[in-house]
């Protein structure tokens, strides 16, 4: 596995989720979080915009070698975002749905590996 695949997959997931939240937050938030008023849709739109921004960052950096000292700000931003997302989803009221935590956990582990272990072996070979 290379950091190109991880960045591309992360960009696609974040772009899809961010686009949905940006344009359908008023419909989606009340269904996901009971008790949320339709007037609070702007919070979902702000989160969607943040995810779209991180998706753009990942998409534009997918050709770079990431891990260790290479692309540390990009790796750190993704690792922190996915770790916090994982902990929030696990503690959420709908924690009985394990599928909701699968993607953040996978990406948190991948970006944590890039952060603490350095580039994947395929990236090291490409770098030389």
Residue that wins the pLDDT comparison between 118 and 60: 60
Say what the pTM is: 0.84
Q: How far is CA 7 from CA 25, 30, 32, 66, in A?
A: 25, 31, 27, 9
74-100, pLDDT tens digit by residue?
A: 999 999 999 998 888 877 665 555 666
pLDDT of residue 83: 93
Residue 38: exposed, middle, or buried by beta-carbon count in 10 A (0-12, 13-18, 19+)?
Answer: exposed
pLDDT of residue 25: 87
4-57, pLDDT tens digit by residue?
A: 899 999 999 999 999 999 998 888 888 877 788 878 888 889 999 999 999 999
Closest C-alpha among 63, 44, 41 to residue 52: 44
């Amino acid at each position: 596995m290379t950091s190109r695949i991880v960045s591309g997959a992360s960009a696609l997931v974040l772009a899809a989720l961010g686009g949905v939240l940006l344009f359908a937050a008023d419909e989606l938030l009340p269904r996901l979080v009971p008790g949320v008023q339709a007037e609070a849709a702007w919070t979902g739109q702000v989160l969607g915009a943040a995810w779209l921004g991180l998706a753009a960052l990942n998409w534009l950096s997918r050709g770079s070698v990431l891990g260790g000292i290479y692309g540390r700000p990009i790796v750190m931003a993704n690792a922190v975002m996915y770790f916090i997302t994982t902990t929030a989803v696990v503690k959420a009221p709908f924690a009985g749905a394990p599928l909701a935590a699968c993607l953040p956990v996978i990406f948190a582990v991948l970006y944590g590996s890039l952060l603490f272990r350095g580039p994947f072996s395929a990236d090291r070979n490409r770098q030389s």
